[in-house]
Amino acid sequence: MSHQVVIIGGGYAGILAAQRLHAAQVTLINNRSTFTERIRLHQVAAGERRPEHAIPGLLRKGVTFVQGHVSALDLDGQQVIYRDDAGEHTLPYDSLIYALGSKTGNLPQQPVGAHGRAPLRSTEKSDAVFTLDPASTERLAARLRELPAGAHVAVVGGGLTGIESASEIAESYPHLHVSLVTRGAFGERLSRKGRAHLYATFQRLNVQICDHLDVQSIGDRELITERGAISYDACVWTAGFTVPMLAREAGLAVNDCGQIVVDRTLRSLSHPNVYAAGDAAWVAEMPIPIRMACATALPMGGHVADNLNALLTGGPAKPFEFRYYWQCISLGRNDALVQIASGDDMPRERILTGKGGAVFKEMICRLTINVLRLERHVPGLYRVPA
């Protein structure tokens, strides 16, 4: 019987791995039947309708697709446990590729202290707090549509997701008051020119910047900060990506965030027949930091498949190599900041902005889905020169 590979997670990393892995019998499990273009969820939040991509239609012939929620891993028994409408099932594997990605939003849990108001402990408890995950994004889009002029949308988190979300919402809903609240300095990981462009853009879009401000907890319709309460009508929580706890619970070696620790060949340090790619993986001994990004998930997904193909056909597994070229940040539909970066992700004083930047960013977004489509016919086509 041929080698059985189960891939859990049908995001950028998981689907690319499935397209490329020809030396084994491949089954891919994902909780949704459609592929989520996560890098466009801020556009969906701001009201844009995006085409749906059914996963079975994306996958190459021969890959089996299973829609289900993976609830546990039995590492000793080499099986994945998942649920669907019909109940709980198991799926045996010889090798497992773990590509469950991440979620946005790590809500603060601290007690409120001096203000004496009860904090919300999860997004479920408020109809006005949202994250940029598929279901929450749909609810946010509906909420934004119904807000009256002057209502306050507070975007929490000054990372790329927060910046993209604040500018997209402000551009689409100029009658709303949008602010961005961040613990650090605004645009702190950008070059001087890049930061200057961000400030100019936020001024043009009337987005208020509240930086060096720590949100301690979220109350009902108010953020409790160290400098007092800020009321909101919708809160978009983008601070921090968190990964599923499944790997930790199963007993795989994970880092403090719960990402699977893999060697340079993307193989688990604790369980050699488990591989990981994308946001859910942490590569030990990588000379440069690998941030959670589509830009890193795609090459990792491709690489894990290349290595399994090699191992199963008697070849050597190769170390994962990667370098950065830029960071692309959309600032609404007509502007973007393309921040040129060094190979280890440090910003250089070279940027591309305005309409040219927006076109470049749009090309990159289209490339990601086109890579997944093209690899169905030409596996191995996509390479990032390292």
CB of 228 to ligand FAD, least distance (A): 29
Under rule CB under 6 A, residue 70 binds ligand FAD: yes
Backbone angles phi, psi at 60, to 5 degrees: -70, 160
Question: Which among 140, 120, 112, 122 has a CA at the least distance from the CA of 235?
Answer: 140
Of 5-13, 139-147, 209-217, 314-322: span binding ligand FAD (CB under 6 A): 5-13
In this structure, the number of other CB atoms found within 10 A of the CB of residue 331 comes to 28
Q: Which member of 128, 224, 294, 331 binds ligand FAD (CB under 6 A)?
A: 294
Closest CB 115 distance from ligand FAD, rounded Å: 30
- Which of 155/224 has CB closer to ligand FAD? 155
Report the site for ligand FAD in 123-142 (rule: CB under 6 A).
Answer: 132
The one among 5, 14, 215, 326 contacting ligand FAD by CB under 6 A: 14
Q: Which x/- pattern, by CB under 6 A, does the window 97-126 give for ligand FAD?
A: --xxxx-x----------------------
Q: How many CB atoms lie within 10 A of CB 99?
A: 30
- Is position 278 an interface residue for ligand FAD (rule: CB under 6 A)? yes
Q: Is 38 in the site for ligand FAD (CB under 6 A)?
A: yes
- Alpha carbon separation from 132 to 37, 80, 206 (Å, rounded): 11, 27, 22
Min separation Cβ 182 and ligand FAD, Å: 16
- Of 119 and 322, which CB lies nearer to ligand FAD in the complex structure? 322
Residues 6+ apart with CB under 8 A from 122: 107
One-letter amino acid for residue 34 of the chain: T
Residue 161 engages ligand FAD in binding (rule: CB under 6 A): yes
Closest-CA residue to 102 (of 161, 18, 175):
161
Which residue has 């390292």 as its token pair?
Answer: 386
Q: Give the three-class secondary structure for 93.
A: coil
> Whole-number minimum distance, CB 295 to ligand FAD, in Å?
4
Give yes or no for residue 168 binding ligand FAD (CB under 6 A): no
Cβ proximity to ligand FAD: between 212 and 355 the closer is: 355
Bridge-based pairing of strands 25-30 and 4-8 is parallel
- Rounded CA separation 184/210 (Å): 10
Stretch that binds ligand FAD, among 93-101, 113-121, 139-147, 222-230 (CB under 6 A): 93-101
Q: Which residue in 21, 27, 28, 42 binds ligand FAD (CB under 6 A)?
A: 42
How far apart CA 116 and CA 69 sit, in angstroms, is 39
Widest CA span of the chain, in angstroms? 65
Which of 103, 106, 111 lies closest to 183, judged by CA? 106
**AA identity, residue 311:** L
Of 100 and 181, CB closest to ligand FAD: 100
- Least distance to ligand FAD from the beta carbon of 261, Å? 16
Q: Closest residue (Cβ) to ligand FAD?
A: 11
- Exposure on the CB side of residue 285, measured as CA atoms within 13 A: 10
- Member of 5, 21, 41, 372 binding ligand FAD (CB under 6 A): 41
Residue closer to ligand FAD, measured from CB, 119 or 301: 301
323 is a site residue for ligand FAD (CB under 6 A) = no
- By CB under 6 A, tell whether 239 contacts ligand FAD: no
Measured between its terminal Cα atoms, the distance across the chain in Å is 37
Scored b (16 or more CB within 10 A) or e, 243-264 reads: bbebbbebebbbeebbbbbbbb
Contact set with ligand FAD (CB under 6 A) = 9-14, 29-32, 36, 38-39, 41-42, 69-70, 99-102, 104, 132, 161, 164, 244, 278-280, 292-295, 297, 328
